[in-house]
Amino acid sequence: MKSHPISIGIVADHREKKSKVIEALRGYENVTVGIRTLKLGDYVVDDLFLFERKTLSDFITSIIDGRIFRRRGIRPKGNRAVQMHILRGFPGVGPKRARMLLSAFGSVEPVLNASADDLKEVGGVGKKTIENHSMGSE
């Protein structure tokens, strides 16, 4: 059993019951985990932090179909704005780099499927950026 000097209270959404995350959290001596229906997010830590757990594909789909923005009350207008928003979610990718990636690849999916070598060919996308966000696969 892992032990830490502070107590942490976590509430998990009822839809996370089968998640191995809850089992792992319960392995910590000073962590209490409760389960209830949450209106937002999957986990609330000490009533201060809200976490939404997503796979990469679900994250992208929730941005494209607008689910993630409905929860926050915002949504980028237009397909290009949504694509820019997705790409800017990666570390080291700001507006300028996102525009360059979209210009080079046309849409988000080819960027995500691009090899590291393909990404390196885009001006302004260096080795550190590629490694930081793991967009490229070789």
pLDDT of residue 75: 58
Residue 3 belongs to some domain of the structure: no
Q: Which residues of 116-136 are buried (b: 16+ CB within 10 A; e: fewer)?
A: eebbeebeebeeebbeeeebb
Domain count, the chain: 2
pLDDT of residue 13: 94
How many Cβ atoms sit within 10 Å of the Cβ of residue 58?
A: 13
Residue 77 belongs to some domain of the structure: yes
- Predicted TM-score (pTM) above 0.75: no
> What one-letter code names the amino acid at 7?
S
Q: What are 76's two structure tokens?
A: 């980028």
Asked if 62 and 89 sit in the same domain, the reply is yes
pLDDT of residue 74: 57
Asked if 35 and 60 sit in the same domain, the reply is no
pLDDT of residue 53: 83
pLDDT of residue 136: 42
Residue 2 belongs to some domain of the structure: no
Strand ranges across the sheet with 49-51: 31-36, 8-13, 43-45, 49-51
* 93 bridge partner residues: none
Residue 46 belongs to some domain of the structure: yes
Q: What are 134's two structure tokens?
A: 């793991």
Q: Which domain holds residue 106?
A: 56-133
Residue by residue, pLDDT tens for the chain (138 residues) are 555 578 999 999 999 988 889 999 999 989 999 999 998 889 999 988 888 887 777 777 776 776 666 655 555 667 888 888 888 877 778 889 889 999 999 988 888 888 888 888 887 777 777 776 555 444
How many Cβ atoms sit within 10 Å of the Cβ of residue 108?
A: 22
Asked if 47 and 60 sit in the same domain, the reply is no
Report the CATH number at residue 74: 1.10.150.20
Asked if 118 and 74 sit in the same domain, the reply is yes
pLDDT of residue 138: 42
pLDDT of residue 79: 80
